[in-house]
């Protein structure tokens, strides 16, 4: 029987854990090895996983492999999505793109820059809010940094509307369709950007995982 934790990359098989016939027992250090290999494929040979980021990556991995025991220890709820916050250049976007690959069949989601949602709204109006709010699984990148939308002379806080719709979708599907996001903003800044109502819904939509405020810009 095939081990569902085996992933083939450029002809090389990486085993992320041991399969006993019913359950995969994942090994965090094997996952790290694979993530570094896949990261180099996606982002170039300079990509590396920093030791100081491992505790945060361990939390994210526990969520993505659905390790219920670890998630409970980290106060994460598997039915919720992930809001990954941290300063500019700490690696939020790269990680959210990368982590999809450790469970390629289980938790697919599309990465969408939040500003692109607004640009679409400016052309198509509230059809865009329906497109991103009423179906599918998305990771909205750089949440809170997008401009306000404008359609036929009316301003709109587009991502705020999308998040309210995503909350209704989350309730309707009982957490089956999750929402993910990355942001540079803290909780107070998010509330200022979207208002108390949206911030309240975000608490129910997301598990919050945060890089240290002093995390360095890895792009320098």
Tokens of 202: 């975000």
46 within a domain of the structure (yes/no):
no
How many CB atoms lie under 10 A from the CB of residue 133?
23
Give dist(CA 154, CA 143) in Å, integer. Answer: 21
56 within a domain of the structure (yes/no):
no
pLDDT at 104: 75
Nearest alpha carbon to residue 177 among 187, 164, 167, 186:
167
The residues, ordered by sequence, that sit 6+ positions from 65 with a Cβ below 8 Å of its Cβ are 24, 26, 31, 102, 103
H/E element holding 149?
Answer: strand 149-151
Give dist(CA 176, CA 153) in Å, integer. Answer: 36
38 within a domain of the structure (yes/no):
no
- Domain of residue 103 covers 79-210
Write the CATH number for 161.
3.40.50.300
34 within a domain of the structure (yes/no):
no
71 within a domain of the structure (yes/no):
no
15 within a domain of the structure (yes/no):
no
91 within a domain of the structure (yes/no):
yes
**Scanning the structure block, which residue is given the tokens 């999308």?**
162
- Looking from the CA of 34 toward its CB, the CA atoms found within 13 Å total 24
200 within a domain of the structure (yes/no):
yes
Per-residue pLDDT tens over the stretch 118-171: 999 999 999 999 999 999 999 999 999 999 999 988 899 999 999 999 999 999
Per-residue pLDDT tens over the stretch 45-65: 999 999 999 999 999 999 999
The pTM (predicted TM-score) of the whole model is 0.93
> Number of structural domains, the chain?
1
């Amino acid at each position: 029987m095939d081990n569902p934790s085996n992933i083939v990359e450029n002809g090389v098989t990486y085993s992320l854990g041991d399969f006993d016939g019913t359950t995969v027992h994942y090994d965090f250090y094997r996952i790290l090895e694979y993530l570094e290999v896949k990261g180099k494929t996606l982002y170039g040979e300079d990509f590396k996983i920093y030791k100081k980021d491992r505790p945060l990556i361990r939390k994210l991995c526990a969520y993505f492999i659905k390790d219920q025991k670890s998630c409970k220890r980290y106060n994460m709820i598997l039915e919720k999505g992930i809001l990954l916050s941290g300063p500019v250049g700490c690696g939020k976007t790269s990680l959210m793109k990368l982590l999809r690959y450790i469970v390629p069949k289980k938790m697919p989601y599309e990465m969408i820059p939040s500003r692109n949602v607004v640009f679409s709204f400016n052309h198509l109006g509230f059809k865009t809010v329906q497109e991103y709010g009423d179906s599918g699984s998305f990771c909205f990148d750089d949440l809170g940094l997008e401009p306000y939308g404008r359609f036929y002379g009316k301003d709109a806080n587009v991502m705020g509307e999308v998040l309210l719709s995503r909350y209704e979708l989350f309730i309707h599907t009982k957490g089956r369709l999750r929402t993910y996001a990355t942001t540079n903003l803290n909780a107070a800044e998010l509330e200022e950007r979207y208002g108390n109502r949206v911030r309240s819904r975000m608490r129910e939509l997301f598990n919050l995982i945060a890089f240290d405020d002093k995390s360095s810009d890895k792009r320098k």
